[in-house]
Amino acid sequence: MTTIRVLIADDQMMVRQGFTVLLNAEPGIEVVGQAVDGIDAVAKTAELAPDVVLMDVRMPRLGGIEATRRLTEPAGATVKVLVLTTFDLDEYVYEALRAGASGFLLKDASAAELAQAVRVVAAGDALLAPNITKRLIAEFSRVTSSPRAPLKDRVGDLTERETEVLSLIAQGLSNGEIAERLVVAEQTVKSHVGRILVKLGLRDRTQATVFAYETGLIRPAGY
């Protein structure tokens, strides 16, 4: 079994140490380092090459959102960022995902939830804390009242079926659920997802969700 290498970036020592103890107790996960702020996180990521960075939002010198952007924007970047915060606020959710984060979890999550979040993000899937998903949808609805034209043009690169799959991804459906909805094999859905990410130049399902809302491909029900 491949071990998932994790870097923890938080300006509070007790938080870093607590998460380190919790994650090191989990099979297949190893905390390879700790960072005290965003600048340190960027440097430690270059030095230690973690698979996943647990990134606090509010830190001195350089906050977690900008640090996330610096880690995920370079071409070829493979590190996944799981944003951790005590602040359940719309702006953090949206900006973290736009910056390139693959997941968002509140700090009061249990040890099991934290470990599962690391595994989900490392596997390239999206992860959002259930209690903030409704706020996220509302925020996307608010900021995408006028779809961004350059992004909207890129939807035309997708086939009709790929566009349908992208819409279902953005609604939070898993590959299995999409396969059931479309009455196709799950492997077929995986192939569609892979082509969607390549065609649109996206890193993972989380970024595909951001893209779908920003282009106005889907609109949240009730908004």
pLDDT tens-digit readout, 46-102: 999 999 999 998 888 888 889 999 998 877 778 899 988 776 655 677 778 778 888
168 or 6, which is more confident: 6
Strand ranges in the chain using DSSP code E only, listed in sequence order: 4-9, 29-35, 52-56, 80-85, 103-106, 127-128
- The pLDDT tens digits of the residues spanning 199-213 come to 888 877 777 877 887
For the chain, how far is it from start to end, CA to CA, in angstroms?
44
Token duo for residue 19: 């998460």
How many helices and strands (H and E) does the chain possess? 11, 6
pTM of the model: 0.70
Over pLDDT 70: what percentage of the chain? 80
Residues 81 and 101: beta-carbon distance below 8 Å:
yes
pLDDT band at 125 (very low <50, low <70, confident <90, very high): low
R_g (Cα) of the chain, nearest Å: 17
Q: Provide DSSP, 50-83.
A: -SEEEEESS-SSS-HHHHHHHHHSSTT---EEEE
> What's the token pair of residue 207?
């970024």
